[in-house]
Chains A and B, each alone.
Chain A
Amino acid sequence: MAASFSPHGERVSLFLDHLEKWVLVLLISFLAGFAVLQIILRNFFSTGIVWGDDLLRHGVLWLSILGASRATFEKKHIRIDLLPRIMPARFKFITDIMCCFISFLVCLILLWASWKFVRGERLAGDIAFASIPYWCLELIFPIGFALMALRFGFRFARGLAGRRPEGTEI
């Protein structure tokens, strides 16, 4: 965690941010392009890629989980936050740190659960399509929860160090 306080850590975090944004753009362009191709094939050539739908659905899953991880970074997760609105600012800071810590823990448990899930699927060894096994497609769960756990962890550590958490308030 200490790395997050050094300029080095900041740069890594910024680099990851850019990388993620571009991965998202590429992924969504690919999905849209692929979906258009499917429509054209189906309507004009009465054919189609059999596993195309499976690919699209998994693509949306990947995008969603990466999006959720981004929402963690931008502090844009859907939440109720009734108490912080009526409490004085100092308490608000404390609830914020508490929430980050609990979210960090929950994401760690989810990471562990998804790791077990993927390992089990790997042993089963079912193939999804184009000789890609299912467990590869399911890797997004451990990846996503690891990213989210990291981000909540960073924010918690920053909060403890007395700095304003990164990201914008909505």
Chain B
Amino acid sequence: MKLLLTLLLVLMALSGAPLFVVISAAALVCFYLMGVDLSIVIIEMYRLAANPLLIALLFFAFAGYVLAESGAGKRLVRLSMAIFGCIKGGLAVVALLSCAFFTALTGASGITIVALGGLLLPALLEERYSEDFSLGLLTSSGSLGLLFPPSLPMIIYGVVAGVSIPKLFLAGLIPGILLLVLLIGYSIYKGVRGECRVLSFDSKELFDTTRETIWEIMLPVVVFGGIYSGFLAVREVAVVTLVYVLFVALVINRDVKMSQMPTVVGKTVVMVGGIIIILGAALAFNSFLIDQQVPSRILFWIQSHVQSKFLFLIILNIFLLLVGCVLDIYSALVIVAPLIVPIAQGYDINLLHLGVVFLTNLQIGYTTPPIGMNLFIASLRFDKSIIRLGVASLPFLGILLAALLIITYVPALSLLLVR
């Protein structure tokens, strides 16, 4: 009976029922079989209203969507072209940096590929980068930057694992830079070998673009300054960021109109609501699992088979890569993290480090078949088959995997700035 119900739920999930429905159904069935009154599911969901970080999630997401709607992406690309265009392989560096910057601010939901991909692909091809290299680069960098503040998935991990967001942002900094540096190294190597053309340095263009982009350049200062100055809580920084972004877009640059606002709000709310309702359902389902002591039983079982932390981390990575293949980053965090966190604690793994490992894995999952969101969005955007993009992304996936190993086995990278 139980097996049949489980199979039914899995089948539902795979045939495309909304995940929140599947998880709620699981929670409802479990509590029903236990003989508990079903209003417990809503009581658990109502815990959503006790978490102040969801305010930050909402406002950061809103700021990101306003930014995506404005011409910030274009300006950013122009500026970094003026800086890096004159070195060999520089354009690939431009692509990587602007994608990372943009993704950190908009939360990897495919916006980066949509907003920047169409701009960067022709530019890369014109500079005689091979088509495979350019497609692979843009596809895999659609989720680059997830480790930089104010990344929305990081906030979600902080909510689920109960760790401090400012510390988590610090922990992600060096690993995030490592990912970037490795990819940049590969791109420059390709650029130097591939006889790419180089732009001539133009100081006037640099000056012009800097002046144009100054408000966006100041944005990290606002976010970082807000979080680490000690005056503001994370949710207040989110509000300040939102007000800043709105002011720049509506009043200074005027590239977003007031009449676009209902649409932007609509997009934000649909995305945030879609994530938070899954979080609510997962709260209910997880409270059942914890009541049944499922995490501690899994921990006991694993510990009887796997003694070393080293081996556990390998298994964790493989598991998370598989999860990343089938789930998007938000549902993966919300569903899987509450189960993994107590187990990882059993192996004495720092939760900040765990968060960074978690997010790096899931970032890679964005580009892996069969459900890598980057692949689908890039395939729509560039009008290329998913298989072609998957093959083109392989070298980049290789680099990301190597970086993942380093990040996993050198916890100091994540913990250096925190201590």
B273:A80 contact, CB within 8 angstroms = no
In the complex, whether B18 has a CB less than 8 A from a CB of chain A is yes
In the complex, whether B240 has a CB less than 8 A from a CB of chain A is yes
A63:B266 contact, CB within 8 angstroms = no
In the complex, whether B409 has a CB less than 8 A from a CB of chain A is no
What is the 8 Å Cβ interface bit string for chain B, positions 8-24, against chain A (1 contact, 0 not)?
A: 00001111111111001
B269:A28 contact, CB within 8 angstroms = yes
Identify the stretch in A3-11, A107-115, A158-166 within 8 Å (CB) of chain B at 4 or more residues. Answer: A107-115
Q: Which residues of B contact A70 (CB under 8 A)?
A: 266, 269-270, 273
Q: Which residues of A contact B17 (CB under 8 A)?
A: 79, 99, 102-103
A71:B236 contact, CB within 8 angstroms = no
A81:B24 contact, CB within 8 angstroms = no
Nearest-neighbor residue (CB-CB) of A17 within chain B: B266
Selected contact of A57 from candidates B54, B232, B274, B328, CB within 8 Å = B54
Distance of B314 from chain A, by nearest CB (Å): 26
Q: Which residues of A contact B273 (CB under 8 A)?
A: 63-71
B42:A81 contact, CB within 8 angstroms = no
B270:A71 contact, CB within 8 angstroms = yes
* Cα(A113)–Cα(B42), bound, Å: 7
Q: Which residues of B contact A109 (CB under 8 A)?
A: 28, 38
B51:A57 contact, CB within 8 angstroms = yes
* Cα(A112)–Cα(B24), bound, Å: 13
Which secondary structure characterizes the binding site on chain B? helix
Q: Which residues of B contact A67 (CB under 8 A)?
A: 268-274, 276-277
In the complex, whether A132 has a CB less than 8 A from a CB of chain B is no
Residue total for A at the interface (Cβ-Cβ under 8 A): 58
Q: Which residues of B contact A80 (CB under 8 A)?
A: 13-14, 16, 19, 326-327, 371
Distance of B316 from chain A, by nearest CB (Å): 22
B371:A74 contact, CB within 8 angstroms = no
* Cα(A81)–Cα(B11), bound, Å: 10
* Cα(A101)–Cα(B214), bound, Å: 51
* Cα(A11)–Cα(B24), bound, Å: 32
Contacts A21-B266, A68-B273, A68-B274 given; does A79 touch B16 at CB 8 Å: yes
Which of A67, A76, A102, A103 counts the most chain B CB atoms within 10 A? A67
Q: Which residues of A contact B25 (CB under 8 A)?
A: 102, 106
Selected contact of A116 from candidates B13, B38, B328, CB within 8 Å = B38
Selected contact of A53 from candidates B18, B52, B370, CB within 8 Å = B52
Distance of A137 from chain B, by nearest CB (Å): 8
Contacts A95-B15, A99-B17, A106-B21 given; does A43 touch B231 at CB 8 Å: yes
B52:A74 contact, CB within 8 angstroms = no
Distance of A143 from chain B, by nearest CB (Å): 13
B45:A141 contact, CB within 8 angstroms = yes
A57:B49 contact, CB within 8 angstroms = yes
A63:B58 contact, CB within 8 angstroms = yes
Contacts A65-B277, A66-B273, A79-B19 given; does A56 touch B13 at CB 8 Å: no
Q: Which residues of B contact A64 (CB under 8 A)?
A: 48, 54, 58, 269, 272-273, 276-277, 280
Nearest-neighbor residue (CB-CB) of B265 within chain A: A25
Selected contact of B239 from candidates A32, A77, A81, CB within 8 Å = A32
Which secondary structure characterizes the binding site on chain A? helix
Selected contact of B243 from candidates A36, A61, A81, CB within 8 Å = A36
A114:B272 contact, CB within 8 angstroms = no
In the complex, whether B103 has a CB less than 8 A from a CB of chain A is no
In the complex, whether B378 has a CB less than 8 A from a CB of chain A is no
B16:A114 contact, CB within 8 angstroms = no
Q: Which residues of A contact B43 (CB under 8 A)?
A: 117
* Cα(A83)–Cα(B370), bound, Å: 11
In the complex, whether B184 has a CB less than 8 A from a CB of chain A is no
Contacts A56-B55, A70-B270 given; does A107 touch B16 at CB 8 Å: no
Nearest-neighbor residue (CB-CB) of A53 within chain B: B52
* Cα(A71)–Cα(B268), bound, Å: 11
Q: Which of B16-63 contact A (CB under 8 A)?
A: 16-21, 24-25, 28, 37-39, 41-43, 45-46, 48-52, 54-55, 58-59, 62
Q: Which residues of A contact B15 (CB under 8 A)?
A: 81, 83-84, 95, 98-99
Q: Which residues of A contact B37 (CB under 8 A)?
A: 116
* Cα(A96)–Cα(B15), bound, Å: 8
In the complex, whether A150 has a CB less than 8 A from a CB of chain B is no
In the complex, whether B192 has a CB less than 8 A from a CB of chain A is no
* Cα(A69)–Cα(B46), bound, Å: 17
Q: Which residues of A contact B239 (CB under 8 A)?
A: 32, 35-36, 39
In the complex, whether B242 has a CB less than 8 A from a CB of chain A is yes
In the complex, whether A129 has a CB less than 8 A from a CB of chain B is no
Contacts A39-B236, A78-B18 given; does A24 touch B265 at CB 8 Å: yes
A35-B235, A70-B269 given. 20 additional CB < 8 A pairs?
A21-B265, A35-B55, A56-B52, A60-B49, A60-B276, A63-B58, A64-B269, A65-B276, A67-B274, A67-B276, A68-B276, A77-B18, A78-B328, A80-B14, A81-B16, A82-B14, A85-B370, A102-B17, A103-B17, A110-B42
